[in-house]
Every structure is written in C-alpha cells, then in structure tokens.
Amino acid sequence: MVDPTAYRNALACFASGVTIVTAAGDGRGPVGVTVSAFCSLSLDPPLILVCLDNRTGCLAQFQETGAGFAVNVLAADQWALSDAFAGPQTFDMHGCAYVAGA
C-alpha cells in the first residue's frame, strides 16, 4: 500500500520535466523510453498517467508485461539519458545499470 502523504509529497516535487519509463519487457529484457507526458491522476487511489505514442517501438512490451513499470524522474543534468531513450531506435537499456524491482 502506498502512503498517501508520501505519494502526494513525491509528486509535488515533479512540477514538469522529463522521465524515462522502464518495464521488465516481454522476455527479451527490460525496455525504456523517454516520456514527458507524465502526471498524477488520483491521490485516492494513488494513480499516475503515462502517455506513450502508438508508434513507440516498445509499446507492445509495455502492454504485455505483468510486472508493472517504473517512472524515473531525470535531473536537469541527465539530458544524455533522455537522448539515449528517445527516438525510433530499439529501446533496450542502452548499457545503463539498473536494479530490478527497486
């Protein structure tokens, strides 16, 4: 269960910006994509909205995964990560280190 106060405080820190949304994928390994369309949808229940373009190369992997997804909020100096996960190329983890389930 998500603590409502912690949820509200976490989302209050994100006025607007860029995120990388990642998912476990469909057996081919984790995938990620740069997303700027991310916002809080509801506090009770705690829901967020993430919008992916229908033409996103890894859309099927996000739809097929039952493990959920993660939203990684980027700092201003992380533009290289944003660029790495943007565009029409494959959406693997680009050699980035990650911790599954974190």
Rounded to whole angstroms, how far apart are CA atoms 30 and 33?
A: 11
**Strand pairing of 38-42 and 19-23?**
unpaired
The residue ranges of every structural domain in the chain are 4-84
Whole-number pLDDT of residue 24: 79
Q: Are 70 and 55 in contact (CB under 8 A)?
A: no
Whole-number pLDDT of residue 63: 81
Segment 45-79, tens digit of pLDDT: 989 898 888 888 788 888 876 668 888 889 889 98
Rounded to whole angstroms, how far apart are CA atoms 48 and 68?
A: 13
Q: Report whether pLDDT(35) > 80.
A: yes
CB neighbours of residue 18 within 10 Å: 19
Domain 4-84 sits in CATH 2.40.40.20: no
Residues facing residue 20 across a β-bridge: 34, 72
